[in-house]
Chain A
Amino acid sequence: MTDITLPAAEPVSRPISPSREVWLSLKANKGAMAGLIVIVLLVIAAVFADIIAPYHYAQVFKECVVEVCPPAWREGSDPRFILGTDAVGRDLWSRLIHGSRYSLFIGSIVVTISLAAGILFGLLSGFFRGTIDILIMRAMDIILSVPSLLLALAIVAILGSGLLNAMIAVAITYIPHYARLARAAVLTELPKDYVTASRVAGAGTLRLMLNTVLPNCLAPLIVQATLSFSTAILDAAALGFLGYGAQAPTPEWGTMLADARSLIRSMPWVVTLPGLAILITVLAFNLLGDGLRDALDPKLKR
């Protein structure tokens, strides 16, 4: 029994599952892979920020307030602070690591809110047409006609400054993109046979919407979600920079740049590093989003 070796099993050719196909296409895309690696690193940094960061993000080192502690590549640096300390004497490296939490958090919350609301509006528009459709789509047009940063600022001006309000404000400005995508997808899917079959089988409108049609419109929404993850980080950082987003001492990268302008001569690293973190993060999500679009869009497939 033990020495009987079975001939190697013939490889059975099975159709590749759709998700695997997307993954293979994504794997072949160097840019998307680079973006994905950066995102994984960011998630690790965010989850284990307390362990990775040498100090607490708000811990002040008094000795670095009187005499500035520059980063390692500058003269007179303190080996304890690789990237130097900021104007208040806090370790910049620790603050940047903790900042990854905020960026990923902002991105997730904004995308979740806008995606959920957008899908809801899009489904309602596409399914019921008529007055509901007109009202919803006009409202979306109105939101779209105000530049998103300005609208977000105006909303924050009313709700008050702060990270939560900034996220809500940014999320509102993204709803129309999802609503339009969802509506368009619903309109292409509705006349198809499988929807009719499901309807004939007695599926109610709610079931048709969520179980039958929605799963088949997900591709464009996923791409848009990845891409707006990056714009959400950018917009929230811009609000923070203008002083209406996350408030100090929160180590949100945009907020860290808020008073950087006055430090540009004396402490340039306080200006360059948080912005670099924003750029790398946004770039990573855009690379992944582009890759996903190519992978999910059959028209571009080889």
Chain B
Amino acid sequence: MLRFVLTRVGLVIPTFLGIILLTFILIRLVPGDPVQVRVGERGITEERRLALLHEMGLDRPLHVQFFDYVGGVLQGDLGISIITKKPVMVEFLTLFPATLELAFFAILFAASIGLPLGVIAAVRRGSAFDHTVMGLSLTGYSMPIFWWGLLLILLFSVDLGWTPVAKRLSDDYFVDQVTGFMLIDTLLSDDPMNEGSFLDALHHLILPTVVLGTVPLAVIARMTRSAMLEVLGEDYIRTARAKGLGSIRVVAVHALRNALVPVVTVIGLQVGTLMGGAILTETVFSWPGIGKWLVESIGRRDYPALQGGVLVIAALVMTVNLAVDLLYGLLNPRIRHRR
């Protein structure tokens, strides 16, 4: 097992260094004067330009700059945002809980609906229910989610007036950011003015959760169905049935447990999809998270922010994928012992 863990971790390290190299090159490919790209100051004197160039170490050889950059990244230094003049890492950490909260509910939503739909579709293979679930799941998979978000706003917010259109909280409340998770922060707030803010935050989460969770829901339903179909054809299921076990018990205990392994893997691998989806969902719902921040950073030519954002998200996706990979090996000895 240790050998398996070490091999997998060993494979990830060069990739991670590669990502650092990628982001290092990325910001250098931006056309224009490097000082202007990094600092955003225009029309400065040549003297000031040279001073800044030196200050940022951009006058040193490229490989020195790279090792300097790697050293900084490993210590959590991602540079300074041009617009806010704050460290990119601080910006990221301030906004990240908003994205994490949304992503958590999205995946919860997707799994809690996708799993049962997939199981029932597999058990009733070929039925109208199966066809409907598969059709809907392909539709969900094909959904342009930015439009899906607009559509839901049109229906539930504009026409029915049930849900708020944007942001994490109504303007009536002022909740201090403690954890960054709005549902927790609203509960922590003891200001009487903030009574009902928890429900308000929950209310704001509904539509973005559905929008961000749609593609994972479709993927999970499809994956669960095919994993269940495979397992249901196994001999031990026939044995279980032959022993006279009830069909619910066979499906829920014997089949689902084994089918869950690939499904959990797929859920884990949705992190990348979720981060991509967060960019669109947060833009549609003015959700103050990482996705919206990245899009705005590009619009404001805040390249250090973009560079840092890409790096951290890639590292995050890689870490989750590695964890899923290790977990999979833990659950499935056939993978672990394959060389």
Contact = CB atoms under 8 A, between A and B. Distances in A.
Contacts of A158: 26, 29-31
Interface in B296-330: 298-299, 303, 306, 309-310, 313-314, 317-318, 321
A286 B142 contact: yes
Interface stretch (A14-22, A186-194, A216-224, A238-246): A238-246
Interface stretch (B180-188, B241-249, B270-278): B270-278
Contacts of B150: 257, 260-261, 264, 271, 275
Interface string B19-47: 10010001001110000000000000000
A149 B144 contact: no
A265 B18 contact: no
A139 B279 contact: no
B144 A150 contact: no
Contacts of B201: none
Given A158-B26, A264-B154, A257 B272 contact: no
A234 interface: yes
A154 B305 CA distance: 11
A279 B151 CA distance: 12
A65 B295 CA distance: 31
B144 A242 contact: no
A141 interface: yes
Contacts of B30: 157-158
A150 B284 CA distance: 16
A243 B299 contact: yes
Contacts of A145: 15, 19, 272, 314, 317-318, 321
Contacts of B158: 264-265, 268
A32 to B, nearest CB: 11
Interface in B142-200: 142-144, 146-148, 150-151, 153-154, 158
B144 A237 contact: yes
A238 B138 contact: no
Nearest to B19: A142
Q: Which of A147, A156, A241, A278 has the most CB of B within 10 A?
A: A147
B26 A154 contact: yes
Contacts of A257: 146-147, 150
B138 A272 contact: no
Interface in A60-118: none
Contacts of A142: 15, 18-19, 22, 314
A230 B142 contact: yes
B272 A271 contact: no
Contact of B280 (A241, A271, A290): A241
A150 B142 contact: no
B158 to A, nearest CB: 6
Given A157-B298, A241-B146, A149 B280 contact: yes
B317 A254 contact: no
B26 A271 contact: no
Contacts of B148: 275
Contact of B154 (A154, A271, A287): A271
B294 interface: yes
A148 interface: yes
B139 A254 contact: no
Interface in B31-71: 31
Given A147-B275, A150-B279, A157-B298, A141 B142 contact: no
Contacts of A265: 158
Nearest to B280: A238
Contacts of A154: 26, 298, 306, 310
Contacts of B135: 31
Interface in A221-278: 230, 234, 237-238, 241-244, 254, 257, 260-261, 264-265, 268, 271-272, 274-275, 278
B139 A283 contact: yes
A274 B146 CA distance: 12
Contacts of B151: 271-272, 275
A282 interface: yes
A77 B36 CA distance: 52
A158 B26 CA distance: 8
A284 to B, nearest CB: 9
A153 B295 contact: yes
Interface string A26-70: 000001000000000000000000000000000000000000000
7 contacts: A142-B314, A147-B272, A149-B276, A149-B279, A153-B295, A158-B31, A264-B158
Sort A-B residue pairs by CB-CB distance and give the 8 closest, nearest first. Answer: A275-B147, A149-B276, A147-B276, A282-B142, A142-B18, A283-B142, A157-B298, A147-B275
Given A138-B14, A148-B276, A261-B150, 9 more contacts: A138-B18, A139-B18, A146-B314, A156-B298, A157-B30, A158-B30, A241-B147, A264-B153, A282-B143
